[in-house]
Amino acid sequence: MNFRNNTAYNRWWEARSHWGLITNNCRSFSRQCTTILKGHPDLTRAIAGYAYVLSYHLRGKDALLNSNVKRVLPIHIQEYIKGLRNQPNGVLFQIGLMVSQEVEKKHIDGAIHAQIDRILSDIANAQGALERIKNTPLSIQFSTLPYYLTEITCVILPFSMVQTLEWFTPLGSALVGFLFMALYKIGSDLQNPFDDSPHALPMLTMTRSLEIDLLEQIGDPTGAPITPVNGIQW
């Protein structure tokens, strides 16, 4: 049980760490597009929209059905990613084309182009790591064996405690059984960090925060920050 919970938390924390890499690289990309490429607002909007598209992709949803994506992502990219199996990858491809066009049009040095493209590669690498976590669940042994062991333990607990606790056996076994069930539930909640649940990563909160950071640089209106609901971030 302890090994499974540690593994589940490591998956959750690894997902959070890679999302942090995406956030930092999106900020760096937007800054360099604004300063080096002399300000191309659609590139900043595109990378802000990319974060939304990726978050919905990781949750198995069609990003184009979401109002945040429609509000931020440039129209021509929305048209391009329609029907694509990997929509975030399509967004990155279009962003790369836009960068190449700006570099060619403004005669920017190739070394600077490579520097900007390296940021996109780092974003793609972080996306790949997140997809690996999404598409590689814990093995069936980690999912089923702890469940059955917990159930069996809760059943035999009263028999093992009755000689010691006597009439207090129901209370004592219930408390210990509750602890085992709580440990099992913790692991179950953490093992899928992209689920649409209170225990998963707060994808909407993080993407909205990134959107505000990026669009403020180009003077665009932004959505309101996401506030916790009953102490829970989504």
> Would you kindly state where each structural domain of the chain is located, as residue ranges?
2-138+194-217, 140-188
pLDDT at res. 234: 63
Summarize pLDDT for 43-87 with one digit per residue, the tens: 999 999 999 999 999 999 998 888 899 999 999 999 999 989 999
CB 22, CB 52: distance < 8 Å: no
Summarize pLDDT for 138-163 with one digit per residue, the tens: 777 777 777 778 888 888 878 878 78
**Dihedral of CA 21/26/29/32: which sign?**
negative
3-class state of residue 229 by DSSP: strand
Confidence of residue 216 (pLDDT cuts 50, 70, 90): very high
What lies within 8 Å, CB to CB, of 227 at 6+ separation is none
